């Protein structure tokens, strides 16, 4: 399973990249705004900065909600850097835009996916990734991981090439559940990735090894 980090914070992206297991980055308008990125020039520059830190795919979301605007922005974003994946919402205009961009050989990530039906249409339009939002479904008393399982089964059954990118991952256990469900990618906060390493027996064992190693001097 691939690991993406879900942030627009350059320090966190660098830290995740330095860990050596990072496969890409996802951003969204909320994450960009959180970093204080304002204005078209600054937005485009920030995406290039991210691409220059990581080796893998970098999702950059269109701000338009209408087809024409999505196309215009999508072409502009894709021209920025070969690692850019154009992120488009799971709406009627979005599906049409994914179809158009796919035909132009531009990678896409269909975002705000909350149902198998939305994922099916995105896959049929040729999306590179679909992003079901696990945490936001859980927040609404709906099993987010069950949706990942459903979409993985559907894509396997019909041999869709679209990758399941589990998004809105809130904690380490979500990552393990995504592995069990067969997600292709999990995009997570860095803290959730680091949580995979956390185990008290590792800490206790290491402390003992360090203590005993001093007897060997
Ligand atoms: O990038 C989309 C998604 O990961 C957002 O997560 O925590 O805002 O639901 P969250």
pLDDT digits (tens, 9 = 90+) for 37-66: 999 999 999 999 999 999 999 999 999 999
Q: Kindly report the length of the chain.
A: 217
- The atom number, within ligand 1, closest to the CA of 59 reads 1
CA of 206 to the centre of ligand 1 (A): 35
* Model confidence at 217: pLDDT above 90: no
Q: Return mean pLDDT, the chain.
A: 97
Query: Three-state DSSP class for 86?
Result: strand
Is any atom of ligand 1 closer than 6 Å to the C-beta of 28? Answer: yes
pLDDT exceeds cutoff 90 at 21: yes
**Ligand 1 pocket, residue 167 CB under 6 Å:** yes
Rounded CA-CA distance 136/151 in Å is 17
Best residue among 60, 136, 170 to mutate for probing ligand 1, ranked by most atoms within 8 Å of CB = 136
- Assess whether pLDDT exceeds 90 at residue 79: yes
136 lines ligand 1 (CB under 6 A): yes
Active site residues: 87
Query: Model confidence over 142-187: pLDDT tens digits?
Result: 999 999 999 999 999 999 999 999 999 999 999 999 999 999 999 9
């Amino acid at each position: 399973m691939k690991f993406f980090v879900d942030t627009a914070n350059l320090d966190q992206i660098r830290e995740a990249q330095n860990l050596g297991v990072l496969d890409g980055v996802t951003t969204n308008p909320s994450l960009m705004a959180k970093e204080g990125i304002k204005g078209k020039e600054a937005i485009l520059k920030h995406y290039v900065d991210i691409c220059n830190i990581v080796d893998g795919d970098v999702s950059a979301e269109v701000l338009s909600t209408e087809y024409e605007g999505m196309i215009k922005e999508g072409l502009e974003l894709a021209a920025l850097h070969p690692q850019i994946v154009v992120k488009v919402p799971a709406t009627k205009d979005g599906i049409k835009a994914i179809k158009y961009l796919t035909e132009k050989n531009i990678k896409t990530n269909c975002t705000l996916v909350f149902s198998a039906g939305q994922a099916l249409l995105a896959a049929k339009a040729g999306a590179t990734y679909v992003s079901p939002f696990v945490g936001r479904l859980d927040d609404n008393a709906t099993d987010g991981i069950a949706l990942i399982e459903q979409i993985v089964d559907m894509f396997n059954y019909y041999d869709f090439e679209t990758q399941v990118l589990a998004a809105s991952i809130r904690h380490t256990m979500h990552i393990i559940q995504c592995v069990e469900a067969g997600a292709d990618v999990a995009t997570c906060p860095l803290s959730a990735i680091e949580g995979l390493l956390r185990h008290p027996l590792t800490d206790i064992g290491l402390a003992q090894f360090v203590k005993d190693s001093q007897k060997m001097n």
